[in-house]
Each structure stands twice: as structure tokens, then as C-alpha cells.
Amino acid sequence: MGFADWPAGPAAAQRSGDASHPGHDHAVQFYESPEYLSAVVADFVIDGLARGDSAVIIATGKHAADFSRALRDRGVDVEAVRKAARLTLLPASETLSRFMTAAVPDTRAFDSFIGKVINRARRASTSGAVRAYGEMVDVLWRVGNREGAIALEQLWNGLEHRGAFSLLCAYSLKRFSHANDFEQFRRICDQHSRVLPSENFSTRDEAGRMLEVALLQQRAKALESELADRAALTEELRQTAQRERESRSIAERERLEAERARAEAEAARRVAEEANRAKGDFLAVMSHELRTPLNAIGGYTELIELGIHGPVTPEQREALDRVQRSKRLLLGLINQVLNYARIETGAVRYEMGDVVLDEVLVNCGSIIAPQLRAQGLAFRYSGCDKWLTVRADQEKLEQVILNLLANAVKFTERGGTVSVDVDATPSHATIRVRDTGIGIARDRLGLIFDPFVQVDAQYTRTRDGVGLGLAISRDLTSGMDGELTVSSEVGKGSEFAVTLRR
């Protein structure tokens, strides 16, 4: 089926019914191969020449040569019809330059130049009609000037007033090979009264065309589904990207909040350390200031006891003895506060070495013996390997054991028992100090190693001390890379365990 045999579309039918513009037609041919285009243009021109029409071809150099060859192959004397002005050949790019201003065709320049070409061709025709083929729009489309191509199509349509006139435009289908070219393809088709499909459809018989229509419908549906899927995927990707941005934003906020929290915690830690140092400094200064008058009290009391200031009666000596005991007790409390302050401020130094454990425990037992007798308590030390050693500072270890023994004596009623046992493994040794005293409530076990805390408020009024012995013992044990733990049951007694490396 050639151009002349193709049925007119709705736009052509609408125009053919317009008596003021008889014979005007504007068709578009889509093609895939230049050979097919040459055949279509040759048929279009030959049919017009046979009817007495003149023809105008505006094409690129290669296509113009192909069209001339196809006309000669069909028996047309190209030179003769050109000489008779029945056939006009114009170069597409040069013709565009006559009326294009930047990227837009100028209406007045187009009407002036193209109008003269059409009028000259009409004067040479015997039928008064002109046929024109133009691919200037395809040239514009190929370089990406799509709006310019649409505007040029509209200018061609504006030539209706020049009488009987048929125009054929052509576009390569490869210009519309992407799914998103659909709307632009539709705009091109809307500018024409007839749309001529490519050779894959036009050259088939009726059955082949129906098959191609069915296949095209299926492809269209598949394309629509694919476009819908792509749109859904694009939306999903957009939402995913949005969620990722929000997630990053949340993560960034959380990071900033975490950094702020760390900064606040660090500031609070520094404040707490400063306050702790201030407290330690205060306790250390106060302890030194209190020890000075206490030593003076003790010294003058001893001078009076020696009779330096005259004879001392038995009643006076008993009073002086009470003063000395009270002084020693208060001095012991002050020493505890001073030791704790030193530990808190990091002023304690450890002389670590291999310490014979049995010697330490025997020595501690002899030191605590007077307190045990005064309290009416039994003492039991089960003994250990004479060569068993632990890694410790001997002076600090003795202080820890004495604190634990003194604590056991303090909270065990008369007639009770205080015992010391040792367990050893290849890597560690554990010293267990047990008593049959009042015991410690479960909810107090977590507090007894805190400074200035005692087992039970009712005993703070009858037992000496300020609640620093266990806090000091824990810190000293930790400083020797050891561990101090406790287990207890109210009414049955307590067990403190000191574990050190061997």
C-alpha cells in the first residue's frame, strides 16, 4: 500500500469537508529503513506528477540523492521535470536557516520563503495543486529541538489558505524508541491529518495487518503495565529514600543526643570528681587539725598521770584513764577519716610483693586479742600452709584484716565466736573472716561498703565508729587487684571474703 492508497484519518476527513480549503492534506510517514522512505516519497511524487501536480522535496543531501535515484528507477526524467519547474529540490538545513531564529521558526519569514516556493510550483502545475515532502521537522527533532519541530508542523498547517496542497512529513521511528517518548509521539501525530505507520505494517496484507494490530495492542498493554510497575517502583524507591533520609536524620539526632549526653555525663563526672577531691581535701585538713589538739590532750594527761604537777589520787587516775581511752578512740576515728581521704584522692601508694599469709593472720590475731577478751568472744584461726603467699602490700593487707576483725568484734554479742579460715587454688587465695553476730539484712548488703554507712541505725548509738572501715577495706583490696565480698544472714552472723592473686 503506497501513500496515495492510504485512507484518510479523522483530521483529514474533517478538513476534506471544509469547502474553503479543498484538497489540503498533511500526512506523516514513520519509517525504519531509508529504502522504504525513498519508495514512499517516489510514489508520492510520481502520483502527483501523473495528476498534473508539481512537487517540492526539502530533504537532507543523502536523502535527496536517494529520492532522485528512486524516481529515475521508476522512469522519471528528474532533470526534465526540474527544468520544467514541476520538481523542486531544496536542502533541508539551508532552508531552515532562511526562517529559524535561534531555536524557533519565525512565522513571517516562513510564510515569505515557503510561500514563494509553493506559489512558483503551483504556476508550473497543470492541475493547480502542489505536493510537498519535507523532513526539516525530522532534522530539528534529531538535534533535540522538539518544540521547534512542533512549531514548524503548525506553520505547515497554516498554509491551507494557499489552495490545493498536500504535504508529507517523515520521521524515523528510532527517534521514539523510549517509553517516555509516547507523549511527544502523540503530539506529532496530532499535527497531521493522516498518520502512516512504518513498513512493518504498511507492506503487509490485510491478515498481516490485523495480526500486527493485535500484537501492537498486546505490546501497548504490556508497556502500560511496565510503566505502571516502573511508576510503582519509582514511588517505592522514593519512599525508601525518604525513609532512609528520615532514618539518617533520626540516627543523626540520636548521635547528637548521645554526644550531648556523654558531654553532660563527662561534665557531671568532672564536677563529682572535683567535689570528691574537695571533700577529701576537707577531711584531710580537718583530720590533721583535730589530731594536733588530741595529741596535746594525750601528752598533758600523761604528764599529770606521772605526777609532774603533784600527787594523783586513785579517783583522779581513773578519770585520767577515761580521758586517755576517749582520746585513743577519737584519734582512731580521725585516722580512719584521714586514711579514707588519702584513698579518695589517690594519694595511697602500694608496695606490692609476695606476702606470707600465715604470718599476717597470726600477727592480726595477736593484735585483736585484747578486744576479743574484753568483749568476751572466742577466736579461732584454722591455720594455713606456712609457705602460702599472695601478691599484696603487707601493711595494707594487715589493715584490711584488722578492719574486718574489728568489725566482727563490734557487731558480735558476748559469748560469740570470730573465726578466720583460708582457701587456696593454684591462682588465688581467699581469707574468710566469720562471726556469729547480728548479721546484715539482704537489702543492706549493697550499702555496707559505702562510706559512712553502718549495719543498723540502732547500733550506731552504741557501737563506736563512723562507718569507714569497710569502705577503706574494699578500696585497699581493690588497689591490690583483689576482691572483697560479703554474705550474711540476720541473727546468724556474717562472712567477709578477701580474694587475692597468688
Q: Is residue 390 part of a domain?
A: yes
Q: Is residue 180 part of a domain?
A: yes
pLDDT at 461 over 60: no
Domain containing 398 equals 353-501
Strand (E) positions, 138-264?
Answer: 165-172, 194-196
Q: How confident is the model at residue 272, as a pLDDT? A: 75
Q: Is residue 40 part of a domain?
A: yes
pTM: 0.45
Q: Stretch 161-171: mean pLDDT, rounded? A: 83
Count of domains for the chain:
2
State the average pLDDT for the chain: 84
CATH of the domain at 405: 3.30.565.10
Q: Is residue 281 part of a domain?
A: no
- Distance of alpha carbon 194 from alpha carbon 346, whole angstroms: 99
- Distance of alpha carbon 46 from alpha carbon 31, whole angstroms: 19
- Distance of alpha carbon 352 from alpha carbon 479, whole angstroms: 10
Reported as a single tens digit per residue, the pLDDT across 328-377 is: 767 766 766 666 666 766 668 899 999 999 999 999 999 899 889 999 99
What is the rounded (10 degree) CA torsion for 320, 323, 328, 329? 140
Q: Is residue 156 part of a domain?
A: yes
Q: Is residue 309 part of a domain?
A: no
Q: How confident is the model at residue 198, as a pLDDT? A: 85
Q: Is residue 470 part of a domain?
A: yes
Q: Output phi, psi for 132, to 5 deg.
A: -130, 135
pLDDT band of 21, cuts 50, 70, 90: very low
| Residues in Cβ contact with 61 at an 8 Å cutoff, skipping those fewer than 6 apart | 91
End residue of a domain, out of 152, 172, 203: 203
End residue of a domain, out of 173, 203, 233: 203
- Distance of alpha carbon 223 from alpha carbon 218, whole angstroms: 8
Residue listed under C-alpha cell 510520481: 46
Whether the CB-CB separation of 227 and 189 falls below 8 Å is answered with: no
Reported as a single tens digit per residue, the pLDDT across 206-224 is: 777 677 667 666 766 777 7
- Distance of alpha carbon 229 from alpha carbon 223, whole angstroms: 10
End residue of a domain, out of 187, 203, 219: 203
pLDDT at 89 over 90: yes
Whether the CB-CB separation of 199 and 32 falls below 8 Å is answered with: yes
| Closest residue by Cα to residue 397 from 333, 354, 347 | 354
What is the rounded (10 degree) CA torsion for 216, 217, 221, 227? 40
- The percent of residues above 90 in pLDDT, for the chain, comes to 46
- Distance of alpha carbon 269 from alpha carbon 281, whole angstroms: 18
Q: Is residue 371 part of a domain?
A: yes
CATH of the domain at 140: 3.40.50.300
